[in-house]
């Protein structure tokens, strides 16, 4: 299916690997020009080169810490200077540490706010002026905005704030032809999920294999997802093929979330 992304310009945050890389690759496979960013200059450059080679599209790579407003602005400005108007933005960042609410310090709370909620606000606010022909914004979020996940209290609080911002902006920006949606990953086979499985293993005394087997037992499709599964869903929501979808939240979780 042609999603209508050829020659569209897309910013994808935290895209040197994992979920962000999956979306960047899917966008490029449909012909979009993709600007990737990550804190690691070497890793994001390697990711951009791989996508350019595999998909035959133009890519850019920028070292960017999304906790720093100046870094985000430089990334956005660099992309706009090279390719003109921006059509798509993927808001993404690493998750806060796994802790219960009562284990969280004020410093933890402030750091999570800057990493997750404030960075999302900044990326959206700084990109919108370049969406002169309309556009599409997608936040990579968490199932915790629907069902709180044990030991991910900070994620629940901050990502719920992002979801509220997205829903509000979907109303405010619809008249400008700008759509905003959320994408929830389930157990996608990434470094982040492996890290969370390791935390569970340490807490329960179960082996990593046992932790994963228990998780898979709760997934109707019977497996962890891949970044390609997630990337395809992200590319669709960002594309003109989803032109009548805004303010929505899509789950890519193999059916594991039990809420209706």
Task: List, for residues 185-195, the tens digit of each pLDDT value.
Answer: 999 999 888 98
- Cα separation, 24 vs 21, in Å, equals 5
Query: What confidence score (pLDDT) does residue 69 get?
Result: 98
More confident site: 1 or 19? 19
* Prediction pTM value: 0.95
User: Tokens 């133009």 label which residue?
Assistant: 58
Q: How confident is the model at residue 196 (pLDDT cuts 50, 70, 90)?
A: confident
Q: What is the pLDDT of residues 202-241, one digit of tens each?
A: 989 999 999 999 999 999 999 999 999 999 999 999 999 9
Task: Count helices and strands (H / E) in the chain.
Answer: 9, 7
Query: What confidence score (pLDDT) does residue 192 get?
Result: 84
Query: What confidence score (pLDDT) does residue 149 get?
Result: 87
Q: Any idea what the Cα angle at residue 69 is, between residues 111 and 58, rounded to 5°?
A: 115
Percent of the chain with pLDDT over 90: 91
Strand 249-252, strand 178-185: pairing: parallel
HSE of 7 in the Cβ direction (CA atoms, 13 Å)? 1
Could you tell me the CA-to-CA distances from 33 to 22, 23, 91, 102 in Å, in that order? 15, 12, 17, 44
List strand residue ranges (DSSP E) for the chain, in order: 9-12, 33-38, 59-63, 88-91, 135-140, 178-185, 249-252
Query: What confidence score (pLDDT) does residue 100 get?
Result: 92
Percent of the chain with pLDDT over 70: 100
Q: What is the pLDDT of residues 92-130, one digit of tens each?
A: 998 898 899 999 999 999 999 999 999 999 999 999 999
Q: Any idea what the Cα angle at residue 115 is, between residues 151 and 52, rounded to 5°?
A: 110
Question: In angstroms, how far is CA 2 from the centroid of its own chain?
Answer: 22
Residue 1 has pLDDT above 80, yes or no: no
């Amino acid at each position: 299916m042609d999603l209508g992304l050829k020659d569209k310009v897309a910013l994808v945050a935290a895209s040197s690997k994992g979920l962000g890389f999956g979306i960047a690759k899917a966008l490029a496979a449909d012909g979009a020009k993709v600007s990737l960013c990550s804190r690691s200059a070497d890793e994001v450059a390697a990711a951009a080169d791989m996508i350019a080679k595999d998909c035959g599209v133009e890519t850019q790579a920028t070292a960017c810490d999304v906790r720093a407003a100046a870094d985000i602005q430089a990334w956005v400005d660099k992309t706009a200077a090279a390719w003109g108007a921006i059509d798509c933005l993927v808001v993404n960042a690493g998750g806060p540490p796994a802790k219960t609410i009562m284990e969280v310090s004020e410093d933890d709370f402030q750091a999570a706010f800057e990493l997750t909620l404030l960075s999302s606000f900044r990326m959206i606010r700084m990109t919108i002026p370049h969406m002169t022909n309309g556009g599409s914004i997608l936040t990579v979020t968490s199932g915790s905005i629907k069902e709180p996940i044990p030991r991910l209290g900070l994620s629940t609080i901050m990502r719920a704030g992002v979801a509220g911002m997205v829903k509000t902006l979907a109303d405010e920006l619809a008249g400008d032809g700008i759509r905003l949606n959320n994408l929830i990953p389930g157990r996608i086979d990434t470094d982040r999920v492996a890290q969370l499985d390791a935390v569970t293993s340490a807490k329960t005394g179960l082996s990593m294999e046992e932790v994963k087997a228990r998780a898979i037992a709760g997934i109707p499709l019977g497996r962890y997802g891949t970044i390609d599964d997630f990337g395809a869903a992200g590319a669709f929501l960002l594309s003109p093929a989803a032109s009548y979808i805004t303010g929505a939240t899509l789950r890519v979780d193999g059916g594991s979330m039990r809420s209706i």
